[in-house]
Amino acid sequence: MKLHINPARQGFQWAKLGVKTFFRQPLALSGLFFMFLALMSVVSRIPLIGTVVALMLLPGITLGLMIAAREAHDGKFPMPLILFSAFRAGQEKLQAMLMLGGIYALGFLMVMGICTLVGDDQFANLYLNGGAINAEIMEDPDFQASMWTASVLFLPLSMLFWHAPALTYWHGISPIKSLFFSFFACLKNWKSLTMYGLTWVGFFLGLAIGVALLGSLVGSPSFIVVASLASTLLLVAGFFVSIYFSFADSFVADFASGDDHAA
């Protein structure tokens, strides 16, 4: 395994490949994504421990979507059980993935705790439990302080875990080392990852504008709501698919060469 430094423009390619790959197997990949959402929702509702368990499962389930993306890119039809590949690859990988999940849950809850100390618990409650957000809440100084603190702290947490599950699963790297390598790879590829993020922001803005224009032609507010929700969920699924390509082009290996995915 060798770290590969990508040019900024490669970030656009990752996003484009995510969308392109999603439409190669739209039924399978959207079905897996909705399974992912349903699983996280059901598990998080378990009394007392649900949120922690859901957070612990998140790295492994996200890896399942990456494996599905690889299958779809290779022209295969990813089956539902692929979502749980990280937990079905033997005892050693299962333990490693659960360890990563435990570290992620701890890090996430620490971020929420710091946000509560900086502002109040309103932001953490909304983030973890859901609920309606209105103008009054958004204008609350404590809520804003918590929100901006979370935005800053989630960046290094995301960098630690962006590649870590894939490094542990495909390269057999220990959880702690995979976190280090993931953070270092994101740091070295900050230009391409920034372009990747900006491209996805552009995709979502373009989608919102397109749905709004179409809704104005149809003249139905309910159509706008339904179309916005459905199309946004599908685009989010494409985003999760694209994560695989950012990993594949950041580490040189036999199964994932940057040249294979840049076309």
Secondary structure string (H, E, C) spanning the chain: CEECCCCCCHHHHHHHHHHHHHCCCHHHHHHHHHHHHHHHHHHHCCCCCHHHHHHHHHHHHHHHHHHHHHHHHCCCCCCHHHHHHHHCCCHHHHHHHHHHHHHHHHHHHHHHHHHHHHCCCHHHHHHHHCCCCCHHHHCCHHHHHHHHHHHHHHHHHHHHHCCHHHHHHHHCCCHHHHHHHHHHHHHHCHHHHHHHHHHHHHHHHHHHHHHHHHHHHHCCHHHHHHHHHHHHHHHHHHHHHHHHHHHHCCEEECCECHHHHCC
Residue 255 has pLDDT above 60, yes or no: no
Residue 263 has pLDDT above 70, yes or no: no
pLDDT of res. 253: 65
pLDDT of res. 71: 95
pLDDT digits (tens, 9 = 90+) for 19-78: 999 999 999 999 999 999 999 999 998 988 999 999 999 999 999 999 999 999 999 999
Q: How far is CA 218 from the centre of its chain?
A: 33
pLDDT of res. 254: 53
Stated length of the chain: 263
pLDDT digits (tens, 9 = 90+) for 146-191: 889 999 999 999 999 999 999 999 999 999 999 999 999 999 999 9
Q: Which residue is it, tokens 């392109």?
A: 20
pLDDT digits (tens, 9 = 90+) for 93-148: 999 999 999 999 999 999 999 998 988 788 888 877 776 677 778 888 888 898 89
Residue 85 has pLDDT above 70, yes or no: yes
26 contacts 237 by C-beta, under 8 angstroms = no
pLDDT digits (tens, 9 = 90+) for 206-223: 998 988 888 778 777 777
pLDDT of res. 129: 74
Q: Which residue is it, tokens 């959880």?
A: 175
pLDDT of res. 3: 92
